[in-house]
Structure 1
């Protein structure tokens, strides 16, 4: 009996129940269902995907997920559900998003069988000149306060999406958020944590304390928070449409507040804002077409990483091997050098997107990787020039429409600038501009900054397969690539692909900076083996033990049978649910 138990323990498959029953002489009855067995696959913490046929929603806030399902059950489209959920998240997760921020989306339209991309990011104030920064001895744009504020594009994004794909009236879509704002909701654990961390930084800005610090502090985990100011603003939008925000009382209040606090964002900046419908771009990775939006976002970095890694047999190397982690980190370094140089507003630059995501360019860049040694730095590629914290959500409806939507204030709660009684914070996305003259992403009036937030989508044989995203700054393209690799190369399901331990390479202080001269550093989540870490150090990598940030993931997969598989990981407070 002892020999049997020792063999079982070596295989990691004998639990306490098995041991007790084995001592009683009944091992043969239960050995296949021990307490340590995992029916749903991998050894890391995970759960089974959520399955449904009529509709699915996956968000980082369970109450927002439930609102999305309610909208779907009332006959709303996937876009309707996404808008309603996003409005609720702006209230319940002010640490990541809100109507003072920007929005990007990829929509699969079942009626025409194609993807549609929306860039709903705002532009810099027209009255803020490049010379202002030099005149005031600034070598970078501050992270908070009035200077990094750009036009908030999210509300216009809602109305663009709704006009093209909506079914229910906007009043019905905003009603749940208005009700929760007036009546209150319990603050979730992770949001309470980040809210509390934001207070010391943002409480000095006018309006922040009045809106976000009831009782003179951040709300605690489980406390009820109300935001009647935001309820009033959302009601004005529900009644008056997008112009209530960009041309009505809301715009005038933002203009008044910014002028009173040495800001530049004006009524004219808001009134002239517009979103753009754009064509998503893709690369084929081992038979799967992976789709991202082109710059001013960073989505094509994920495509560049995948193109480089397609040249290796990752399945043979193994998901937790030092060899795979090394190749991933080097591919990321190569892609991010191009990101630092070329990614910017296409209205101000002719960007070489087609070449950057091409297979021949990836072949050329791949040759720079030493399979045995980490590079201290790479230079950006030479291409032929032809002279942008967060929330992510995804929804799907009974008609087969799917939405991949991401929305953010940047730096968690944003700039700290909280205008009047409007109940929201303006974003600080303008910090992402470069103040280097001649840089593609150089600050200019009326220009969109480089953006980090990116939605993603995967099709196979021209049909929708996966709508997904991973929130978290420069983490996002790295995790987009890892999700695809986890599913395509390593055979993980849609839930496991997000729960699997992650690789994060950090190589610069700002998203548009070049890599540090020492090659940056690697962070690996806890369950990577110590042997993998040791070998990576021997290969020249600086490896750190960090609990985060590794981003937050939601996804919906559509099977060949038409079943939706929903996933929402445990790093956030979220939920996937369907019906």
Structure 2
């Protein structure tokens, strides 16, 4: 089964499954196709992360006894860059807390292509070639495709940025005649990107990180005074990681470890579970999306974000006490801060410090295959078209993931040469604790919305018994800062607790009485209507419903996107 936000991308994944490819092969094909069809959301100038459920015994009809593996396809900052370079470029040499989203210094090494290729080499089926996998994307870019509704909307919303960043619109494949973006159903091509993908399909990741494509990237950034070099690209590596997990209500919930912020979701779920264990709440008696329920989740997620501001960073630059943070002792101490009658004090709240004695050395889409294996995959350029900076010769924009660094020397996520930034894209997975079988591969794109939405999907399925589609269809909330740059703490990333006031953005449908009760508790509320509902991101879920020895999948695709859940027969 393939679930993604775009039918043409889903078709690309199904095509690879039909050729004998596995979930990894198909996921790469979907990712590549999305880079063509949803360029505002993702692209080869961005990063990727993946969780892979690998079955130990493929002869087992219900695929028990699997394990979860992880890949971090995130790029690093230029080796020679410093905060002073940013300050000199944008603030007359004076300190500022963040890298502007359209700054060339927001560009880090794009990690997606290496991530694709490394996943293919390590976990692919070997039944299809890398060229086979990229062929659907090449065809879409070369022959053209009709732009879907929501993709056309986000594309058009980014035209001002694209024109500002690249004044010569004549050679910009994303700015159409009349200096506009495409309308729904309009047929577009990207010939330079097709040629780029052909080079990569023929020569693998080396084609991107060395040679003409790499030279074009450096030529583009050097003209804007960046410190990125050919060596920064040449020596880039993906990282195979051990996923982190939380035992939650007889399941294991899995996330990519820092520098990804999946830790936020696990911390929030852990806090909720501690409240349940202590009898302060009863998870199974709470009414879904009631004021009481939403208040618990909002506060738990805020506490998770406060911890992420301290602990989510590149682990090669700082030791991160993940196991101690997820230990019940620490979760209990953080849960004690929860007050059912009011919100957390945003002015004075900060991260917690786990007891060292508990330390140990130890565009989202999903694909499952007939082996019972699953891939939870996400690929992104961060903001719309990333930095908006176009590598003109090859038809793709560079991401602005470096904007998630802070510029506060001495803090854990401060910009440093060769460092990976705090990263918002996180694939999710759930397994059954009883037999290590797959429960669900899931995810939800949307920047800092992602861990908040992960928490809601986990609870929707495990506690409230929702199907994947029911979980995706139900109204949900996300958290955001009030963007007051004068009150930005300069800590962590530019997330929901970077300023004292955290805004709760919640979709209409929860009821006016619930909204009023949340306001009474002290929450600052913003109601999301119509197309603003995309603020909560677009999720995709595949759930394992196998029974009586028969492998069965149930899928759901977010109504906030243009896609669908499609089985391969």
On the 8 A contact 1:152/1:426 being kept in 2, the answer is yes
Q: 1:275-314 counterparts in 2 under 5 A?
A: 275-310=238-273, 311=276, 312-314=281-283
**Higher Rg of the two aligned structures:** 1
Residue 131 of structure 2 corresponds to residue 171 of structure 1 = yes
Correspondent of 1:408 among 380, 390, 399? 380
> Which TM-score applies when normalising by structure 2?
0.89
In structure 1, what is the equivalent of residue 173 of structure 2? 211
In structure 1, what is the equivalent of residue 313 of structure 2? 344
In structure 1, what is the equivalent of residue 94 of structure 2? 137
Residue 142 of structure 2 corresponds to residue 182 of structure 1 = yes
In structure 1, what is the equivalent of residue 354 of structure 2? 383
Correspondent of 2:541 among 555, 563, 573? 555
CA distance in 2, matches of 1:290, 1:568: 20
In structure 2, what is the equivalent of residue 19 of structure 1? none
CA distance in 2, matches of 1:419, 1:338: 37
Q: 1:117-516 counterparts in 2 under 5 A?
A: 117-135=70-88, 136-139=93-96, 140-166=98-124, 167=126, 168-206=128-166, 209=169, 210-215=172-177, 216-310=179-273, 311=276, 312-377=281-346, 378-384=349-355, 391-460=363-432, 461=434, 462-507=436-481, 509=483, 511-512=493-494, 515=497
In structure 2, what is the equivalent of residue 29 of structure 1? none
CA distance in 2, matches of 1:538, 1:256: 55
CA distance in 2, matches of 1:283, 1:569: 25
1:71-122: per-residue Cα shift (whole Å, max 9, x none)? 1011111111011111110000001111000000000112472111000100
The alpha carbon displacement at 1:264 in A equals 2.3
Label 1:342 to 1:238 Cα distance change in 2 as closer, same or farther (>3 A). same
CA distance in 2, matches of 1:288, 1:122: 32
CA distance in 1, matches of 2:495, 2:526: 21
For structure 2, the 5+ residue unaligned runs are: 58-65
The alpha carbon displacement at 1:443 in A equals 0.6
In structure 2, what is the equivalent of residue 20 of structure 1? none
The alpha carbon displacement at 1:379 in A equals 2.1
In structure 2, what is the equivalent of residue 50 of structure 1? none
The alpha carbon displacement at 1:560 in A equals 3.0
The alpha carbon displacement at 1:134 in A equals 4.0
Three-state SS of the structure 2 residue aligned to 1:372 is coil
The alpha carbon displacement at 1:152 in A equals 0.3
On the 8 A contact 1:208/1:417 being kept in 2, the answer is no
On the 8 A contact 1:356/1:383 being kept in 2, the answer is yes
Label 1:208 to 1:577 Cα distance change in 2 as closer, same or farther (>3 A). farther
For structure 1, the 5+ residue unaligned runs are: 1-55
> Which TM-score applies when normalising by structure 1?
0.87
CA distance in 2, matches of 1:75, 1:281: 31
Three-state SS of the structure 2 residue aligned to 1:361 is helix
CA distance in 1, matches of 2:330, 2:482: 23
CA distance in 2, matches of 1:207, 1:78: 41
On the 8 A contact 1:207/1:419 being kept in 2, the answer is no
For the aligned residue pairs, the C-alpha RMSD in angstroms reads: 1.8
